[in-house]
Amino acid sequence: MTVQESAARTRPVPAVEAEGIAKNYGSVTALKPTSFAIPAGSYFVLLGPSGGGKTTTLRMIAGLIRPTGGRVRINGADVTDLPADRRDTSMVFQGAALFPHMTVEQNVAYGLTLRRLPRDRIRSEALEMLKLVGLAGFERRRPHELSGGQQQRVQLARALVLKTSVILLDEPLAALDAQLRRDMCFELKHIQESVGITFVHVTHNQEEAMTVADEIALIADGELVERGTPEHMYETPERRFTAGFIGENTLLDGIIHGHGQEARLVIAEGLEIPLPNAPVGEGRPASVSIKSEDFRLAPEAVDAVSAPVEVVDVFYLGFSTVMHVRLPDGRPATVRSTTGALPTRFRSGDRAVLSWRPEAVRLHLA
Partner 1 sequence: MTHDYENPWGYRLKWLYMLTVVGVLMLPVFYTLYISFNYGGFGAAEYEFTWLWYRTLFENQEIRTTLGWTALIAVIVVACTIPLALLAAKFYQRTRFKVPFVFLMLMPLFVPADVTAAALLVYFKNLNTLTESVLGLAMFELSLWTAVIGQITWCLPYAFVVILVTMARFRPEQAEAARTCGANAWQAFWHVEFPQIRAGVFASTAFVAILSFNEYVRTNFLKGGFDTFPTYLVSYMLNTGMTPEVYAMAGLFTVVSMSVVIVVLATTMLRERS
Q: Residues interacting with ligand ATP, by CB under 6 A?
A: 25, 28, 30, 48, 50-56, 204
Task: Rank residues 41 and 244 by Cβ distance to ligand ATP and give the closer one.
Answer: 244
Task: Rank residues 54 and 227 by Cβ distance to ligand ATP and give the closer one.
Answer: 54
> Is residue 74 left, alpha or beta, with left meaning phi > 0 and alpha meaning psi from -120 to 50?
beta
Examine residue 197 and tell whether it contacts partner 1 (CB under 8 A): no
Which among 32-40, 44-52, 89-97, 299-307 is the span making contact with partner 1, rule CB under 8 A? 89-97
Examine residue 297 and tell whether it contacts partner 1 (CB under 8 A): no
Which among 19-27, 47-55, 141-149, 226-234 is the span making contact with Mg ion, rule CB under 5 A? 47-55
Task: Round to whole Å and give the CA distance between 79 and 63.
Answer: 8
Which among 4-12, 48-56, 127-135, 351-359 is the span making contact with Mg ion, rule CB under 5 A? 48-56
Task: Round to whole Å and give the CA distance between 80 and 326.
Answer: 52
Residues in region 131-150 near Mg ion by CB under 5 A:
none
- Candidates 64, 271, 280, 342; binder of partner 1 (CB under 8 A) is 64
Task: Round to whole Å and give the CA distance between 62 and 90.
Answer: 7
- Candidates 34, 42, 55, 334; binder of Mg ion (CB under 5 A) is 55
Q: How far is CA 355 from the centre of its chain?
A: 30
Examine residue 5 and tell whether it contacts partner 1 (CB under 8 A): no
Task: Round to whole Å and give the CA distance between 347 and 311.
Answer: 7
Interface map 152-181 toward partner 1 (x if CB under 8 A): ---x--xx--x-----x-------------
Task: Round to whole Å and give the CA distance between 234 and 156.
Answer: 29
Task: Round to whole Å and give the CA distance between 266 and 248.
Answer: 22
Task: Round to whole Å and give the CA distance between 349 and 354.
Answer: 14
CB within 8 Å of 161: residues ≥ 6 apart: 108, 109, 111, 112, 125, 126, 129
The DSSP-derived string for 47-91 is: E--TTSSHHHHHHHHHTSS--SEEEEEETTEE-TTS-GGGSSEEE
Query: What does 291 bind: Mg ion, partner 1, ligand ATP, none (CB cut-off 5 to 8 Å by kind)?
Result: none
Least Å distance, CB 138 to partner 1, is 18
- Candidates 51, 83, 276, 285; binder of partner 1 (CB under 8 A) is 83
Query: What does 218 bind: ligand ATP, Mg ion, partner 1, none (CB cut-off 5 to 8 Å by kind)?
Result: none
How many helices (H) does the chain have, and how many strands (E)? 9, 20
Examine residue 98 and tell whether it contacts partner 1 (CB under 8 A): yes
Query: What does 52 bind: Mg ion, partner 1, ligand ATP, none (CB cut-off 5 to 8 Å by kind)?
Result: ligand ATP
Task: Round to whole Å and give the CA distance between 19 and 235.
Answer: 28
Examine residue 115 and tell whether it contacts partner 1 (CB under 8 A): yes
Torsion of CA 109, 113, 114, 116, to 10 degrees: 150
Angle between helices 104-114 and 148-160 (to 10 degrees): 20
Task: Rank residues 30 and 62 by Cβ distance to ligand ATP and give the closer one.
Answer: 30
286: enclosing H helix or E strand: strand 285-291
Query: What does 162 bind: partner 1, ligand ATP, Mg ion, none (CB cut-off 5 to 8 Å by kind)?
Result: partner 1
Least Å distance, CB 57 to ligand ATP, is 7
Q: Residue 260 carries which DSSP code?
A: G
Least Å distance, CB 93 to partner 1, is 5
Residue ranges that bind Mg ion, judged by CB under 5 A? 55
Residues that bind partner 1 (CB under 8 A): 62-64, 83-85, 89-91, 93-94, 96-101, 110-111, 114-115, 155, 158-159, 162, 168
